[in-house]
């Protein structure tokens, strides 16, 4: 019983903040929890459906790439895990094509995370022959001249 009370009490802090003048913090926390749960649910669906998820890849990747620029690290981390799961479910090729097409995104954080995901994919891919290295090198070379050092 005491653990239930402690668990309930930990969440009442956010309700109290919401009621006493800290609505922005409480709402941001709630939204980040909802987005993280939604990303985990999409990951479960992708794992369960498997290859047929390819028909929805365009719209899914557009939404996932837009979340790469989020300010909350937990959302970006969950997003990267989901993109990695999509790469494992499908082949890395179509996912990398979507990522490479957004390397010129206006948000530097999106560009940084795309470069990190590409590095992760290349270094951990069990089938490197399925990766188009010409496309990757040709797309990543201009990023060396990026104004943000974290993207370089």
Q: In the prediction, which pLDDT does 83 show?
A: 96
Q: In the prediction, which pLDDT does 10 show?
A: 59
Distance in angstroms (rounded) separating the CA atoms of residues 113 and 109: 6
Residue 152 lies in a domain: no
Q: What is the pLDDT of residues 87-109, one digit of tens each?
A: 999 889 999 999 999 999 999 99
Q: In the prediction, which pLDDT does 29 show?
A: 73
Q: In the prediction, which pLDDT does 152 show?
A: 76
Q: In the prediction, which pLDDT does 69 show?
A: 92
Q: Two tokens at 146?
A: 């990026």
Give the count of domains, the chain: 1
Residue 90 lies in a domain: yes
Asked if residue 80 lies in contact with residue 117, where contact means CB atoms within 8 angstroms, the answer is yes
Domain of residue 126, CATH code? 1.25.10.10
- The fraction of the chain above a pLDDT of 70, given in percent, is 82
Residue 58 lies in a domain: yes
For residue 37, the enclosing domain spans 2-145
Q: The whole model's pTM is what?
A: 0.80
Residue 53 lies in a domain: yes
Please identify every stretch of the chain with a pLDDT value under 70, giving residue numbers as ranges: 1-27
Residue 40 lies in a domain: yes
Distance in angstroms (rounded) separating the CA atoms of residues 119 and 124: 8
Residue 151 lies in a domain: no
Distance in angstroms (rounded) separating the CA atoms of residues 39 and 122: 23
In sign, the C-alpha dihedral spanning 100, 63, 148, 84 is negative
Q: In the prediction, which pLDDT does 116 show?
A: 94
Q: In the prediction, which pLDDT does 30 show?
A: 76
């Amino acid at each position: 019983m005491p653990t239930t009370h402690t668990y309930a009490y930990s969440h009442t802090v956010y309700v109290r903040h919401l009621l006493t003048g800290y609505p922005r913090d409480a709402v941001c926390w709630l939204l980040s929890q909802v987005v993280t749960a939604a990303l985990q649910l999409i990951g479960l669906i992708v794992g369960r459906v498997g290859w047929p998820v390819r028909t929805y890849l365009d719209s899914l990747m557009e939404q996932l790439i837009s979340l790469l620029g989020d300010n909350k690290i937990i959302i970006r981390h969950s997003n990267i895990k989901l993109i990695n799961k999509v790469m494992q479910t499908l082949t890395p090729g179509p996912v990398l094509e979507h990522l490479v097409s957004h390397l010129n995104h206006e948000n530097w954080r999106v560009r940084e995370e795309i470069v990190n995901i590409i590095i992760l994919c290349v270094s951990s891919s069990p089938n490197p022959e399925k990766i188009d290295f010409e496309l990757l090198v040709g797309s990543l070379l201009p990023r060396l001249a990026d104004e943000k050092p974290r993207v370089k």
